[in-house]
């Protein structure tokens, strides 16, 4: 259904099912990992996500207990993150790495209480506080 890749195209993936929802995460870790006001991730079942090229180019960073973030070791593109504890059947894909259109996806902002002070959330999407 979807395909994606990192900036240098060393790593490629496919998603074989609809993207369930999208989160615009404003937590400090996501802001730092993406170098932006927030990171946008699409939520998919782990069984529906497959790397199709470049797994040897993947780097893994354990950002907190049970939370794994993957990225391309060549270009640094953030690709996904998942939690072994909170939602073990799901992973979150960095939607900016999609090569195919995503279409309409339910969206919300998470951790808005941690947002960058220089960014205003004013798009009308739901806010989910997670202190």
Going along the chain from its start, the domains and CATH numbers come out as: 2-128 (2.170.150.70)
Q: Summarize pLDDT for 11-70 with one digit per residue, the tens.
A: 999 999 999 999 999 999 999 999 999 999 999 999 999 999 999 999 999 988 888 999
What SS3 state is found at 89?
coil
Please report which helix (H) or strand (E) contains residue 83, including its range. strand 78-83
Instruction: Please count the other Cβ atoms lying within 10 Å of the Cβ belonging to residue 125.
Output: 14
Percent of the chain at pLDDT exceeding 90:
87
Cβ-in-10-Å burial (0-12, 13-18, 19+) of 47 comes to exposed
Question: Distance of CA 63 to CAs 27, 56, 82, 105, 110, Å?
Answer: 12, 20, 10, 27, 17
pLDDT band, very low/low/confident/very high, at 117 (cuts 50, 70, 90): very high
The answer to whether 26 touches 41, Cβ cutoff 8 Å, is: no
Mean pLDDT of the chain: 94
């Amino acid at each position: 259904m979807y395909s994606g890749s990192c900036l240098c195209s060393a790593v490629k993936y496919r998603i074989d099912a609809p993207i369930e929802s999208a989160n615009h995460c404003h937590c400090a870790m996501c802001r730092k990992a993406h170098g932006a006001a927030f990171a946008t991730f699409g939520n998919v079942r782990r069984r529906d996500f497959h790397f199709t090229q470049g797994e040897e180019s993947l780097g893994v960073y354990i950002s907190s207990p049970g939370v794994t973030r993957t990225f391309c070791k060549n270009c640094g593109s953030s690709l996904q993150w998942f939690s072994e504890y909170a939602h073990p059947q799901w992973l979150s894909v960095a939607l900016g790495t999609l090569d195919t259109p995503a279409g309409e996806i339910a969206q919300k902002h998470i951790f808005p209480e941690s947002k960058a002070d220089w960014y205003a959330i004013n798009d009308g999407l739901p806010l989910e506080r997670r202190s």
